[in-house]
Amino acid sequence: MNRPVWLACILLACAAAALGQVDSEALANSQQDDESWLMYGRNYSAWRYSPLDQIDTGNVGQIAPAWIFQTAESGKFQTTPLVRDGVMYVTGPSNHAWALDLKTGRELWHYSEPVPDDLTLCCGKPNRGFAILGNLLFKVNMQATLVALDATTGDVVWEVESADYRKGYSNTVAPLVVNGMVVVGIAGAEFGTRDFIDAYDAETGERRWRFWTVPGPGEPGNETWGGDSWKRGGASTWITGSYDPELNLIYWGTGNPGPDLDGAPRPGDNLYSDSMLALDADTGELRWHFQFTPHDVHDWDSVADPVLIDVEIDGQPRKALVHANRNGHFYALDRTSGEYLFARAYTEVNWADGMTSAGRPILIPGREPTDEGTLTCPGMGGGHNWHATSYSPQTGLYYFNSGDGCQIYHGATQDFVEGEFYLGSAMENVTGEPREGSILAVDPGTGDRRWRFPLVSPPTSGMLSTGGGLLFAGTLEGYFVALDAADGRLLWRLQTGGPVRAPAITYRFEGRQYVATAAGSAIIAFALPR
């Protein structure tokens, strides 16, 4: 800690910080805290940028593992670890979690909770991370519960059920702590659930508010669902949102309407599926919404990071929210009002011919799934799916990955049966055309692409940018790489031996900068040689 900060600390009586406690102020100032990683997106704006610059473009070639922690748990390891006061907190697949000693990588405690056998899941048993407040850690479990753990021991302090998993609900999202509340989403839209965003009291676990992402009868938006299709409308909320403390608004993206590929049972726009929502943090009331893909029939969830940046757009300074959508377009919205600013395709798109002035896609006819199959680009997973993105104020660029290529979408009408997939059929790859991927850097003010790093496979990892001018990412084939954030040049790589499905984090510990990532079923922490 440098001296002025240290002094300010005493003056502001940050006893909590001295004890390693994370209070609301620490969360609000997380961007300045080089020794910690306190939330999913590193700061409330979801930048995933750290000013740390000990590891830079010149010396990154020398970094090497300082320690490796083997979880011995198979399954998709998608976590964003938290770091605070010498300890790393990691959630794993199948309801596991660990606290690790930063000095050695040794385990301090291990939490686990069985996953019920009769849980229906679309996509494995991953978990994307903890949230922290005071000495409590918060995580969701697969069976749609939320638990608070004592950060010192890993003991359960409270536990609540968000929804009944027997009805098709499950959970994987990293919670977001705002104003003493733990905000979480939910998953289940492949099973005909009706989804929501919840806020719970951090101390007691009592629910403070719930926002249904599919409005019920009498609520505005319910008329965008024919018949009683709203009851199974989906609109899951499985990726963490962001928060603007000044506006006191929480931004959270929603997923596909159900059934995914069959629009017939749900005539209308199907609000608020595939939308960005701005909710009043205290009450959960909707302030504005923007729907990216009205009446989606391609499973284009819009849950990807809502990243908050102040940027000039068309010569005007804007409080923007930028978002790379699974439907193949990069969007900028005004985060105060939800006003559409612009959208740009970042990968091959054959279903829309640009947007109206209000941001509604201009549809190209004949791209709906059919029995025989319809070739549509991007394919089902996108485009940019959900993987964590990064904004570097140093380069002024926004980094995200993209799955590139098309798929054949087959539809089929199906009745709803509880506990069964409610998808309305399937996708097929195009023969001889493998789906590939890229890491992209775009100018968030224009959507212009600055560089592209091609990947032979659809992307799996998230992004981290640093003050050392670096972008860290990983690949399905197990490489962990450092690119020059300015031009996308490869500077360093390591074959880790397992797919990198998570975003990396960075922190300073005892004077050294570390970069840590989940890879395979291990956590690896890298640093420069001593």
Partner 1 sequence: MRWRVLTLLVSLAVGAAGQELERSPFHGDETSIGVGKASFRLRCSACHGIHAEGGKGPPLNRGEFAAGNRDVDIYRVIARGVPGTEMPAYGTRNTEENIWRIVAFLRTFEAVGDERVDGNAERGEAIFWGTGGCGGCHKVGRRGASYGPDLTRIGRSRSVQHLREALLDPGKDLPAGYFVVKVVTRDGRTVSGIGSGIDDFSAQLRDASGRLHSFLREDVESIEREFTSLMPSYGESLSDQQQRDLLVYMQALRGEESR
Q: Which residues are catalytic?
A: 299
**Nearer to partner 1 (CB atom), residue 199 or residue 481:** 481
Instruction: Give the number of other Cβ atoms within 10 Å of residue 434's Cβ.
Output: 12
Instruction: Report d(CA 71, CA 98) in Å as an integer.
Output: 9
Residues near 26 by Cβ (< 8 Å), separated by ≥ 6? 14, 16, 17, 33, 36, 38
Least Cβ distance, residue 457 to partner 1 (angstroms): 8
**Nearer to partner 1 (CB atom), residue 42 or residue 501:** 501
Angle at 477 (CA atoms; ends 72, 104), nearest 5 degrees: 40
* Two structure tokens written together for 450: 């600055």
Least Cβ distance, residue 436 to partner 1 (angstroms): 10
Stretch that binds partner 1, among 19-27, 384-392, 443-451, 474-482 (CB under 8 A): 474-482
Stretch that binds partner 1, among 68-76, 303-311, 332-340, 448-456 (CB under 8 A): 448-456
410 binds partner 1 (CB under 8 A): yes
285 binds partner 1 (CB under 8 A): no
**Nearer to partner 1 (CB atom), residue 30 or residue 143:** 143
Single out the residue of 455, 463, 505, 522 in contact with partner 1 (rule: CB under 8 A). 455
* Two structure tokens written together for 105: 């990588």
Least Cβ distance, residue 372 to partner 1 (angstroms): 8
Stretch that binds partner 1, among 27-35, 266-274, 305-313, 413-421 (CB under 8 A): 413-421
Q: In the window 164-193, what residues touch partner 1 (CB under 8 A)?
A: none
Single out the residue of 118, 246, 314, 510 in contact with partner 1 (rule: CB under 8 A). 118
Is the distance from CB of 435 to CB of 429 less than 8 angstroms? yes
Least Cβ distance, residue 472 to partner 1 (angstroms): 15
Reported as half-sphere exposure (CB side, CA atoms, 13 A), residue 84 has a value of: 28
Q: Residue 379 carries which DSSP code?
A: B
Quick one: residue 218, left, alpha or beta (phi over 0 = left, psi -120 to 50 = alpha)? left
Least Cβ distance, residue 371 to partner 1 (angstroms): 8
**Nearer to partner 1 (CB atom), residue 97 or residue 481:** 481
Single out the residue of 310, 364, 456, 497 in contact with partner 1 (rule: CB under 8 A). 456
62 binds partner 1 (CB under 8 A): no
Q: Residue 116 carries which DSSP code?
A: P
**Nearer to partner 1 (CB atom), residue 192 or residue 359:** 192
Instruction: Report d(CA 499, CA 461) in Å as an integer.
Output: 9
Strand partners of residue 132? 137
SS3 493: strand
What are the DSSP calls for 248-317, one per residue? TEEEEE---BSSSS--TTS-S--TTTTEEEEEETTT--EEEEEESSTT-SS-----S--EEEEEEETTEE
Give the position of tokens 């669902």. 225
Least Cβ distance, residue 303 to partner 1 (angstroms): 21
Q: Is the dihedral of CA 340, 346, 350, 351 positive or negative?
A: negative
Least Cβ distance, residue 452 to partner 1 (angstroms): 13
Instruction: Give the number of other Cβ atoms within 10 Å of residue 471's Cβ.
Output: 27
**Nearer to partner 1 (CB atom), residue 341 or residue 483:** 483
Single out the residue of 493, 508, 512, 528 in contact with partner 1 (rule: CB under 8 A). 493
Is the distance from CB of 184 to CB of 175 less than 8 angstroms? yes
Single out the residue of 51, 414, 446, 484 in contact with partner 1 (rule: CB under 8 A). 414
Stretch that binds partner 1, among 13-21, 102-110, 410-418, 444-452 (CB under 8 A): 410-418
**Nearer to partner 1 (CB atom), residue 494 or residue 528:** 494
Strand partners of residue 482? 472, 492
Q: In the window 415-434, what residues touch partner 1 (CB under 8 A)?
A: 415, 417, 419-421, 423-426, 428-429, 431-434
120 binds partner 1 (CB under 8 A): yes
**Nearer to partner 1 (CB atom), residue 220 or residue 454:** 454
Is the distance from CB of 174 to CB of 181 less than 8 angstroms? no
The CA-atom distances, in angstroms, between 103 and each of 98, 107, 225, 355, 525 are 15, 11, 54, 52, 10
**Nearer to partner 1 (CB atom), residue 59 or residue 120:** 120
Instruction: Report d(CA 216, CA 194) in Å as an integer.
Output: 10
Least Cβ distance, residue 418 to partner 1 (angstroms): 10
479 binds partner 1 (CB under 8 A): yes
Least Cβ distance, residue 404 to partner 1 (angstroms): 14
Q: In the window 332-391, what residues touch partner 1 (CB under 8 A)?
A: 373
Is the distance from CB of 350 to CB of 344 less than 8 angstroms? no
454 binds partner 1 (CB under 8 A): yes
Report the interface residues with partner 1, using CB under 8 A. 118, 120, 373, 410, 412-415, 417, 419-421, 423-426, 428-429, 431-434, 454-457, 475, 477-479, 493
